[in-house]
Chain A
Amino acid sequence: MLVVAIALAIWSLYPTYRLYFRMPKYKRAVEAKLSRATNHDDSLKVQLELVRLQKETSKLHKSSLHLGLDLVGGMHLVLEVDKSKLTKEEARDAGDRALEVIRNRVDQFGVFEPIIQKVGRDRVLVQLPGVDRERAKTLIGQTAQLQFQLVADERSTYDALKTISDKLEASPSTDTTAGSDTLKTLAGLDTSSEDTGWTGQVEEEEAGSFMGYIQTIGGDFGVDDADYPEFHRLLENGRPHWPKDYVFLFGSLEPFEGRDVRRLYLLKAVPELRGSAIKDARPSPYRGSDPSLSNTWIVSLKLARRDAAVFARVTGRNIGRRLAIVLDNIVQSAPVIQSRIPDGNAMITTNEVNPDEARDLAIVLRSGALPAPVNIVEERSVGASLGNDSIRRGIQAGVIGALAVLLFMIIYYAAGGVLADFALVFNVFFLLAVLAGLHATLTLPGMAGIALTIGMAVDANVLVFERIREELRAGKTTMAAVDTGYDRAFVTIVDANVTTVITAIALYFIGSGAVRGFAITLITGLIINVITAVFLTRFIFDWYLSRFEVKKLRI
């Protein structure tokens, strides 16, 4: 059983070990190779390796122990919807609209493992590891921009992409910095260079693979999310060769055949309508006559009267073409115009039996129509250098404290101390394994929590050993003393740990991130404590006593 537990723990910790110890080395090695690469082929190979590395890292990250923002740096924001200017009806789903808008924007950052959650009725919690604070604040605080733009047909989209590819190949070294500058001014952000860390280091042009990145996704063109930063950069470099009056925009991140992808659209630059035209948008079941749509969900869209005429003209002229719904420069949906819509009451079919898509789209449409202004009510940001500093000092303090405990136990209890130390090491090992298994987040107080469990883990053994000493003094045989010692101490150990767990649970409810991390470590640590102290050491004790027929126990 012990062997199984150890194997499980190793299995659970392995991804964490690889993520934090192996991957950085590997990454440095690949980057060094990249800087040495002199010819085109070499650098292409290294870039492919980088992409693989990136995929591997994000896969590992999903099954690892996470480090809290206070350790890696980044920002924690709580935004509250300002409802003071909204009517009661408008305020009702303001929280959902704000969440949708914020999620949409954070998506553009390309942040690694962001957390975006609704807290309570109208607050949104955003956690962005390793993000530039000012940029994030400006971007998230903006009011939503919703537009309707006509989509170019498949043929002209393909031709445009082909042209860009050809031009890029003809002039392989376009100025990269100019490219990313355009990008910044375009969307107010720069996904390609800083956020993902290493794609920005790619200096060599790689025009040959431009078309290679493109795939077809349910009738549209698109790219794999892993290729997105690189493709985006190439596309921006080719901006001078984009068709006149048209722009390329991406769709939001979506799953497709087990991968994350983004669709790519060529849109008319001038929007046909803006979000303010929308009066209302609601999801509802389809009630029309088309049998192929029965049981599916639709979004019914109502336009303001003055915009209905414009909409009628646009839809009348473009039957069969697609009209994209674009929120903050991200295409949310691109339905086909079926017929002229004269009265401003449109219907967007989703072909889905599940109402989720219709509901989300309705929220998007309403968030453009009814901006839900947000205020930052809580902001905590930690610079990466402070985070590194904290980790270093935390580990240093933890190791020194733990060594002092280990040493003390050996000096004080001799053989028993060695046993207790053995249990202690296992304890910390299992604790980390369980935390990794729970994908828990390790925060600065969490590190202190681990250290504290070390101090308290000893307690259980101290209770047992003191009891054994006492029984030995009372004249019992070694075997009997060990038995009684464990039995008597067991009750006390459980009682003592249960009460501490109760306070830790209370702590958990305070709910702020770092403190929660501490509470989780403490609870897990205490439970493991009881198990290792009572079962593991006893098992070893019994084995030792029966194996060596110990006459006199040095404890």
Chain B
Amino acid sequence: MRLIQQTNINFVGHRRTFFIISGTVIILSILSFVLHGGFNYGVDFTGGTLLQIRFDKPVSTNAVRSAVNAIGEGSASIQQDEQGDFFIRVRAKEFGNGKEGFSHRLGKQFKASFAGNNFELLREETVGPQISKELQGKVLLAVLLGIVGILIYVTIRFDFRFGIGAVMALIHDTIITLGFVSMFNKEVTITLIAAVLTVIGYSVNDSIVVSDRVREDMRKWRKESFMSVVNTAINRVLNRTVITSITTLFVTLAFLFLGAATVKDFAFVLTIGILVGTYSSIFVVANSVVEWETRLPTKRRR
């Protein structure tokens, strides 16, 4: 079976169009980030407490809200997932009565407000402000470490230009993925950052496959123009790029629709990241190298 027959699409020729598409989505992503006033950070990064509570009998969000207000934590955010579990989150700075015994006080209040309805505290996460500050630093370090590591490896194995191409694609994918995180107002937790880093790995993986083919074909067809070699290479790996994305998407989609609450957002980021990563490996990586090559031609090619 073949999904895509032998193609000869002029990807390189239309590179400006793709640059405009990418540019627009990036601008939209940044816009969403600005309009939302930054990310919706979880307690990992803001400090504070997150409780996940399940009631035996259904309870309305308003009823939970008034119970939370009753203990003086009006700034708490309350969400309900499709299973009916409530997620109550209070940021460190927003505690009305201090974080000490928050879950205890809330438990007491719930017992009073919802008499005759049993509930269970499924999960509690409390992160102190010091820890959250450290986590921010660690995450930043991990992301930088990852990007620098990739840049070094790609530079050793390929041309520096492909290193730049791969990193451009990586930044492109990361900004757009984070843009979707912001558009859908997903909570930014450590797990979500792990997903973003995985997307970075996946994005580079895809870029490498394209770059590898360009490098190989360049040796074979020395007489062809750089542009046409790149274009043929993209067409040749197109099938692989699409199929790998499909199989990986099968898995991430399964987790997105069937996974537990904590894995859902993780799967969401991966799904978006794979889609964007696939797009960028076809339309952005090689094209940005071509663009560079056209403007600043290298004299001698290896």
Contact = CB atoms under 8 A, between A and B. Distances in A.
Tell me, yes or no, whether A binds B. yes
Of the four ranges (under 10, 10 to 19, 20 to 34, 35 or more), the interface on chain B belongs to: 35 or more
A448 to B, nearest CB: 5
Contact of A514 (B104, B130, B190): B190
B201 A510 contact: no
A452 B146 contact: no
Contact of A411 (B1, B139, B197): B1
Contact of A380 (B104, B120, B125, B149): B125
Interface stretch (A207-215, A364-372, A496-504): A496-504
A454 B150 contact: no
Interface string A307-340: 0000000000000000000000000000000000
B247 A409 contact: yes
B119 to A, nearest CB: 11
B240 interface: yes
A518 B260 CA distance: 16
Contacts of A401: 250-255
Given A499-B208, A507-B142, A402 B236 contact: no
B35 interface: no
Nearest to A407: B250
B125 A379 contact: yes
Contact of B143 (A455, A492, A506): A506
B216 A499 contact: no
A398 to B, nearest CB: 7
A491 interface: yes
Interface stretch (B17-25, B55-63, B70-78, B263-271): B263-271
B227 interface: no
A70 B142 CA distance: 23
**Which residue, of B126, B212, B247, has the highest number of chain A Cβ atoms within 10 A?**
B247
Given A499-B208, A503-B200, A503-B204, A510 B248 contact: no
Given A382-B122, A404-B250, A510-B139, A448 B240 contact: no
Given A458-B247, A500-B204, A379 B254 contact: no
Given A397-B259, A452-B248, A509 B125 contact: no
A396 interface: yes
B131 interface: yes
Nearest to B154: A499
B149 A390 contact: no
A383 B209 contact: no
Contact of B251 (A390, A452, A505, A509): A452
Interface string A442-459: 001101100110111011
B258 to A, nearest CB: 4
Interface string B265-299: 01100100000000000000000000000000000
B263 A445 contact: yes
B276 to A, nearest CB: 16
A515 B1 CA distance: 38
B193 A510 contact: yes
B260 A506 contact: no
B266 A445 contact: yes
Interface in A489-527: 491-492, 495-500, 502-507, 509-512, 514-515, 518-519, 522
A507 B44 CA distance: 16
Contacts of A378: 126-128, 131
A394 B249 CA distance: 16
B225 interface: no
A500 B197 CA distance: 9
A66 to B, nearest CB: 19
A514 B239 CA distance: 35
A196 interface: no
Interface stretch (A160-168, A270-278, A462-470): A462-470
A389 interface: yes
A400 interface: yes
Contacts of B257: 397
**Which residue, of A396, A491, A498, A510, has the highest number of chain B Cβ atoms within 10 A?**
A510
A489 B253 CA distance: 28
Contacts of A379: 124-127
Contact of B142 (A133, A492, A509): A509
Contacts of B112: none
B142 A445 contact: no
Contacts of B206: 496
A91 interface: no
A448 B266 contact: yes
Contacts of B263: 390, 393-394, 397, 444-445, 447-448
B240 A496 contact: no
A445 B191 contact: yes
Contacts of A470: 236
B9 to A, nearest CB: 17
B145 A509 contact: yes
A454 B255 CA distance: 13
B153 A383 contact: no
**Which residue, of B157, B255, B270, has the highest number of chain A Cβ atoms within 10 A?**
B255
Contacts of B259: 393-394, 397, 448
A205 interface: no
B198 interface: yes
A341 interface: no
A503 B201 contact: yes
A504 B150 CA distance: 11
A545 B295 CA distance: 49
Contacts of A444: 260, 262-263
A515 B254 contact: no
A544 interface: no
14 contacts: A380-B126, A394-B263, A445-B194, A448-B266, A466-B240, A470-B236, A488-B216, A491-B212, A492-B208, A499-B153, A499-B208, A506-B145, A506-B149, A512-B135
Interface of A: 70, 78, 80, 133-134, 375-383, 385-386, 389-390, 393-394, 396-398, 400-402, 404-405, 408-409, 411-414, 444-445, 447-448, 451-452, 454-456, 458-459, 462-463, 466, 470, 473, 488, 491-492, 495-500, 502-507, 509-512, 514-515, 518-519, 522
